[in-house]
Structure formats: structure tokens, C-alpha cells
Chain A
Amino acid sequence: MPFIPHTEEEIREMLETIGVSSIDDLFDEIPESLRADTLEGVGPSLSEMEIGRLMQEKARQDSGGICFIGAGAYDHHVPAAVWQIATRGEFYTAYTPYQAEASQGTLQLLYEYQTMMAELMAMEVSNASLYDGASALAEAVLMAVRANRKSKSKRVLVPRSLHPAYRATVHTIVRNQGIELLELPFDDATGQTDLDALEIHAGSDFAALVIPQPNFFGVLEPVDQLSDWAHRNGLLAIAVVNPLAMAVLQPPGEWGERGVDIACGDGQPLGAPLSSGGPYFGFMTCRKQHVRQMPGRIIGRTVDLDGKPGFTLTLQAREQHIRRSKATSNICTNQGLMVTAATIHMALLGADGLARVAGACHANLNALVEKLTALDEEIEPRFSGPVFHERVLRLPMEVPQVLRTLAAHNILGGYHLGGDYPELEDCLLVCATETRTPDDLEKYARNLQRVLATRRQGACATMVRFDL
């Protein structure tokens, strides 16, 4: 019986104490007609060795690709200490710190996290995290609609240059509350949000403007102008940013004249492995004046009976277990373990280390783009705007086919944009982080060159065998 400690004798003693003759008797309040018989499709019990063998095989099937995909999840080095400490049982198997005195480890760590995240974003306060970047943005939109006292509007402006899956997630989460998302076009030349198109909305009533940095194309948005436009027109400004990029780029708290009102995003680049898309964590920071509208757990420092400093969950009056139907959100957890990892990660790297990682990623991307564009004059950057560690390239061949051929040679060559942006059908989003080596870049270039050569020879790319 996996994980069940009872001996036969103990079972007998326990049943005797209860005063029943079998475990079945304990289910006598459940109507007979509802009892399940067999569970088909579950299979027999496996030992750790057996399931280990099975999982090794599954892991092996997915191994070997050199990753040049970014698009919201980034392959960074994570110090060994991060997950060795985060998976200590005391962090890994604790629950939400309701009993503060028995949870000072988690609580102090979350307080340190809030401090680090507020610093990185140059914002006044941070919560203790939400699920992921996309759902954090949805919560930020809901929060902005509640917090914008100047506007009664339930309409929010969202650039089309924002990650398509973020736009889809926000739509799923906010639409049932009557909130409307209006899309802003991007400039076809620069890849930045079109400021002229934005100006059309001046004077109309909106609750908030979402500003991504960098945007989905890796392009840097004119964040000062966007943030100031929002404030000039009575909107709250919501930043959604890559936290690693904020080690080197202007942080949301300093955008424009006043800084943004809410800054959120996905914390994955701070110590979370790619892990097929999760768990990551969503972060959220805001101005202090909005803290009571912010969803999620918040940790405060206080004192105990003896006046000794300690940490506790605070502002719980916003939350579902107290406010029920009037809560700011139905969320009742944060992503505690991911934040544990991120806090250790940030402590180990420091501001200097994060900036060096960001710099190395960016340099790798530039080197990759240089190599790939040198292969063929028809391969070129699609947008002229400045970028951070990710870039859109136009290819002279059908992109999905190129990606399939590259994948057959263990190059995961990037993300095809045609599915989300029909006008970018011939475009590929590529990323290189600090973990890619010069040899990796060389392999990518060499293989792409061979795919291109097949085009020139008029042969079918997928038929070609490459030697590596």
C-alpha cells in the first residue's frame, strides 16, 4: 500500500476503538447506489523504480533540442543552490502561512521577495505573487477598473503587440464581468504600438492602457509616451514586463513623468525552469495608494508580544476567505515555491548579475541575427524598432516547413508568427539567451543555410539529410 503506514494489527485496534468491524462500515452514510466498483484506465500500482524507468523514457523522447524559442518563456541558467534549497521539505511541503508563528521562514522570504520585486520595478509595493504573467495581467485589468476613480468605464486599451496568449487569457478572465478590450495596432515599420492610432482615442473614456516592455516581437515600446498619454487622458497605466529585462531597461516606476500605476508580468526568467510552461509565477506591483485594490497575498512586518519583529499575512480583509462574494479576486494562493526560488535566484545574482545575464542574452541575440541575416539577403529583421534579446526575422521560405526541418536536426528554431498575425506569415520570432554557445549559433546558421540551399536547388527541404 504506497504511502500508507498502517499494520494489520493497528487497523484492527483502530476499528475496535471506533466500534465498527470493517473499513467498509465507515462509508455507510453513502447511498449504496453511488459506490464505485472498479477504476478502469488507472492501471496497476508501480514501484518508484518502475515509474522512474517510464519517466526516464518519456524525458529521453523530449531531449536534445537546442532551443531558440522565447515568446514568453526563456531558457536561463538557474544556480544549483536555487532548487536545492527551494525543494527542502520545509519550503516544499509547507502550506499557506496562516499560522504565522510556525511559518516565519516562508513569511520572511516573501517579505524579502516583495522588497526585491518592488526595487526591480521601481514601484512602491508588491504582492506575494499570482499564478502566471498572463493571469496576473488579467487581475491587473480587473484591479485597474476598480481603482480608476476618475473613470466609470469598463473599457481597456490593449496593444496588438502584446503576447497573443496574454490577450486571450485576459479575455477569458475578464469578459464575464462586462469588461471590453480594445486592440491598438502596431506600426508596420517599427513593430511598436502606433502612437497616431492611439491618439484617436484621446478624450474617450477608458479605464486603463496596457503597455508591454519588451513587446511580443522583442521590440521596445515608447513607454514614456504611452504612460504619459494614459495619464493625460485619465487612464491608469498597466505595465507588463520581462523582469530580467528590467535589470537593464528603464523600470515601469520611472516611465514618463509619473511612472505607471500597476506593473506586472511573468517571473519565469528569475529562476523557474521552462518546464513546459509552468509552474511559473505572476508578479504584481503597484502604487501604495492602490494597495487595497491589489489581489493576492500580501505580507507585512509587525512585532510579536515581546516587541520582536516578525512577519504575517496582512490586508486579508480583501480576500475571499473573509470577504467571500465581495473579495477583490477568488484567488487564494500565491505561487509560493516559485517565489521561493526567485528570491534565492535574485539574492544570488544581485542587480549586477541580472544585468550581466541580460547583457549576455542580448549580445547572443545580436550575434545570432548577424549570422542568420548574413546567410541570404532575403533574410532580414522585420521591424526597425530597438529590441531586447528577441527579434522577428523575415524568411524567404515557408516558415513552418523551415522549422520542421530544423527540428528534425534538433534545432528548435523559433516561433512562427503567422498563426497569430496573418500579416506576418513569413516571419519567425527568434531568441537567444545567455545559455546558447557560439557553437549553438553556428549550428543554427549552418542548418538554416542548408534549408535555404534546398530552396535554390528546388528540392524538397524535408528530403535532405544533413550531416552535423
Chain B
Amino acid sequence: MLIFQHSRPGRRAQAQAPADQAPLEGIPEAFRRRNRPRLPEVSELQAVRHYTKLSQKNFSIDTQFYPLGSCTMKYNPRGANAMAMLPGLVDRHPLAPESHSQGFLSAMYELQEILKSVTGMAAVSLAPMAGAQGEFAGVAMIRAYHDARGDQERREILVPDAAHGTNPATAVMCGYQAREIPTLPSGDVDLEALEAALGPRTAGIMLTNPSTLGVFERHIDRIARMVHQAGGLLYYDGANLNAILGRVRPGDMGFDVIHVNLHKTFAAPHGGGGPGAGPVGVSERLAPYLPVPLVAFDGHDYHLLTEKERPDTIGRLSAFGGNAGVLLRAYVYARMLGAEGMKRVADFATLNANYLMKRLVEAGFTAAYPGRRATHEFIITLKPEAKELGVNAMDFAKRLLDFDMHAPTTYFPLLVPECFLIEPTETEAKEALDAFVEAMVKIREEARQEPEKVKGAPCNLPVRRLDDVRAARELDLKWEPKGETG
């Protein structure tokens, strides 16, 4: 049932709005709205019950194991939320004077310093509001750097074929062409192909390391040298930073610019698809181009730096300073971990992934890169099961939901057929991993005995498999009172 179907004309949540309608003095009739929008008319209890019930139709980290590869679905500490919502922080106006902002600005300054330290970069801006916006800022800085040198011929961004779709999409948004570089069967970038692609048109390369294949790029040193020699810059997509947090720093690998997904590595919540935060870090030579605002400290007070103090900036990415509430949550998390805790993130994320991979392989599943160490995530291919039993990766994924576990990432990366990209994260206990292996074994058994059960899954959830083709063909994007039959 939709909220609109609870609606009755004249019903209101009376405690939530002024008792009277004040006249709109000074606003001529021509500017005023004539028909009220058809929003729900419900009581406070009806709204609370409706949305509480809707929440119960979701899987989430707080309620289920959620091994969604490349998304780092780790525990989001409740304390971080409580502290970001403290009066004084949650109600601070973005344009409040610095006299009323020192608490907030000090937290942001310290977060910049923490991110510099863990990434090994020279300077950090917290402005980007998501990973994709961090990517945009990063590539825009690469372009600003080349443009400032009059190096206008560089119009190509190299992207490994295993990369996230955002990488090539970002290159295009920055006015560049994306050129794909193939990956070797070992999971490493094809260096010969890279050599052939590099040249005077190369603006840079976008790399995720560990890559989306769940393996560490072993030749990163050589790649960095080759790209730099060709005059290009290296962009680090921080999607998989959780794998190396405190162990290896992108700055030490030779990267010139990186973004960090605070909603992954720094435990800010995913919130059903956002908000995120994607701070960017840069080496010295790109520092002048960082997006504004930045936070500076003069030894006494904290200040916001904007276009005035930073004339070479690529500019502003939002009306104010980015997703401050997300940044505060990440700051609290980082302070709770401390230096030692950060290293343990990589350690235990890697331990969990390697353990789970080994257990699945022992149970007869096929690792996509069997000769390699898992990083914080790994891929299994269900191609043998698909061939032998006629049950594909999507069927496995949907049946896992019936076992009260969220499915891993399916059919990504595109290079591996029938794949599961599995990322357990460091916050899961051993018994959750063991239960996942048991569920996978059980589903394979079901696929042998009663394949229709797996192909028809899920069957224990609010809905069964949905007709996506119909959704795209017969677009129904909003509720209309007259079209309603139920």
C-alpha cells in the first residue's frame, strides 16, 4: 500500500505545522499557486507506521550479512551518527561566521590531516560529495594541470577494462576520451598494451588498486614510471582503499591524485544509495587546483579558503562545502580507530576475504584468480554451475536472499563470466562467513535436486523476481489516483 492510499481529505499531522495559514503579504496573486499539490493527508501515526513498515522490507548491514563486492558494507558505528547530530553541529548554518564555526572547522581540518597521512598525499580537499564527484574533481585537476602548461594535445584518459563504469564516464565529463587497456589473465594490467597506448595524447590513467578483480596490481611501480615518462598523470580510484588502509599508501605508489570513498573505507552509512563523500588528495604539483573550500589553520583559528585565496582552483562542486554531515561521521570513525586501528582494517578485511575464498574453493566453487591472493575481496565464477546445472549467478544471488543474506555483487566486473564479487569486510565475525559457505553449498545442492526452486527465487521476500523489461517499457514513475485499481 502506498502512503497516498492512506490519505483522507482534511486529515493532518497537526503538531507539525503552524496552527494557522498566515497571509502572503506583498506577494501578488499572479505569483501564487492556484491548486494544492496532491501530497498525502495522513496522521502522524499513519506516516510513522507506514515508513517503519517500509523499512522492514529492506536488507541492510544492521540486519543482514551484506558482502557486496566493491561497496565495503562494513558496520557503521552508531556513535558516529549520534555525534554528527549533536546540536551545535547539526544546526550550524553553512555561512555562519568563523566565530561560530571553530568546532566544526577544527574537525574538518583534522580530517584533512588524517586523510593526508593515510593516503600519503600532500594536500586534501573534502569538497566532493560522492566518489563519482571525487573522480570528476581529480580528472578536472589533471586537465587544469596540462592546460596550465599549454599541453593541450593531451586528450586521452587510459582506463583498464576492469574499471568501474564511473571512470570512463568521468573522463568524458571532463572533455576527455576514454581509452581501454586490456587486463592479462593473471589479473594484472597488460603492460605491452599500455606501452602501445601511451604517447603525447595521454593525459593520464585511472587505476583502482587493488583492482576490481580483487587482486593487487603487482607492477604498479612500473606503470607509474611508464605513465609519468609519457607525460601523463596517475589517478587512484579509492573504491578499494579498505584493502590497504594503513598498509600501503597511494602516494607511495606514485599516484598524483586520488579520491577516497568515506562511505566505504571510513564507515559512513550508504543510506540506501547516498549521501556519500569523496574527498580528493593530490601531490604537490596538483595542489593549486584542489576544489574549494579548504580548511586552513593559522595556529590560533581555523579559516575557510575559497576562490579568493585559491585562484587556480578548479572551482566549487556544491553550493556550500560538500557533505559535512558525512565528513563528521568519517572523522569520528577515524579518531575511534586511531593509527593502529586503521592498519587492522586492512589486516582483517584481507583475512576475512582470504578465509572465505579458501572455504568456498574447498567446497568446490571456482576462484576466478586461483593463483592469486585475495585482497579485501575476491571473485568466484559460477560458470561451471551454470553449465552443469543450468542455474546462473543471478539465480544463486536471488536464492541467497531467501537465506537472509544479501547477495554479493553479480556480473561485475564484466571480464569474468557468471561472477560473484565478494567482499565480507573486517567487521564480520567468522560464523557469518561460515554461514555464507553453508548457504552456497546448500543452494548448489538445491540446484541439483530442485532447480526450479533456485530459478524461481526469492520466495521468502515481500516480492518475487520483478519484471524489469516491463518496468522500462511501460514507464510507471509516479502514482496517479485514477489508474489505481487495488
Contact = CB atoms under 8 A, between A and B. Distances in A.
Given A46-B336, A132-B129, A169-B319, A11 B351 contact: yes
B324 A101 contact: no
Contacts of A90: 55-56, 58-60, 62-63
B23 interface: yes
Interface in B325-348: 325-326, 332, 334-344, 347-348
Contact of B140 (A172, A178, A321, A326): A172
Interface string B118-135: 101000000001111101
B320 interface: yes
B92 A91 contact: no
A2 B336 contact: yes
Contact of A111 (B15, B85, B426, B479): B479
A34 B273 contact: no
Interface residues on A, range: 35 or more
A363 interface: yes
Interface in A17-31: 17-20, 23, 26-31
Nearest to A109: B54
B220 A4 contact: no
A457 interface: no
Residue in B33, B66, B114, B165 with the greatest tally of chain A CB atoms within 10 Å: B33
Contacts of B428: 5
Q: Which of B23, B320, B321 has the most CB atoms of chain A within a 10 A radius of its CB?
A: B320
Nearest to A309: B486
Interface residues of B, number: 201
Interface in B23-39: 23-28, 30-34, 36-39
A62 B104 contact: yes
Interface string B145-180: 000000000000000000011101111111101100
B336 A48 contact: yes
A362 B21 contact: no
Interface in A407-430: 407-408, 412, 415
B275 interface: yes
B463 A308 contact: yes
A279 B87 contact: no
Interface stretch (A182-190, A201-209, A338-346): A338-346
A453 interface: no
In this complex, the member of B32, B83, B253 whose beta carbon has the largest number of chain A beta carbons within 10 angstroms is B83
A393 interface: no
A438 interface: no
Contacts of B50: 347
Given A5-B429, A330-B170, A133 B319 contact: yes
A274 B94 contact: yes
B101 A62 contact: yes
A13 interface: yes
A166 interface: yes
A95 B66 contact: yes
Contact of B471 (A59, A118, A246, A300): A300
Given A248-B33, A350-B13, A6 B429 contact: yes
B57 interface: yes
Interface string A56-82: 111111111101010111010101010
Contacts of B271: 91-94, 335-338, 340
B341 A163 contact: no
Interface stretch (A119-127, A228-236, A371-379): A119-127
Nearest to B477: A125
Interface string A326-358: 110111111111101001101111111111110
A468 interface: no
B193 interface: no
A276 B315 CA distance: 19
Contact of A67 (B59, B96, B465): B96
Given A58-B107, A220-B31, A112 B477 contact: no
A100 interface: yes
A277 B322 contact: yes
B456 A305 contact: yes
Contacts of A96: 270, 272-274
A69 B322 CA distance: 18
Contacts of A95: 66, 68, 71, 73, 270, 272-273
B13 A251 contact: no
A327 B165 contact: yes
Interface in A353-392: 353-357, 359-360, 362-363, 366, 386-388
Contacts of A248: 24, 27, 32-33
Interface string A245-264: 01111110010000000000
A224 to B, nearest CB: 8
Given A67-B96, A337-B271, A51 B132 contact: no
Nearest to B97: A407
B361 to A, nearest CB: 10
A62 B24 contact: no
Given A2-B341, A92-B60, A335-B274, A347 B39 contact: yes
Nearest to B218: A29
B226 interface: no
B299 to A, nearest CB: 16
B221 to A, nearest CB: 6
Contact of A169 (B83, B317, B429, B472): B317
B59 A51 contact: no
Contact of A39 (B32, B246, B272, B397): B246
Interface string B74-102: 11110101111111111111111101111
14 contacts: A63-B87, A72-B320, A73-B320, A102-B58, A119-B478, A135-B318, A172-B317, A281-B275, A304-B464, A325-B177, A338-B275, A349-B17, A351-B38, A352-B17
Sorted nearest first, the 3 A-B pairs with minimum C-beta distance are A277-B320, A89-B62, A337-B271
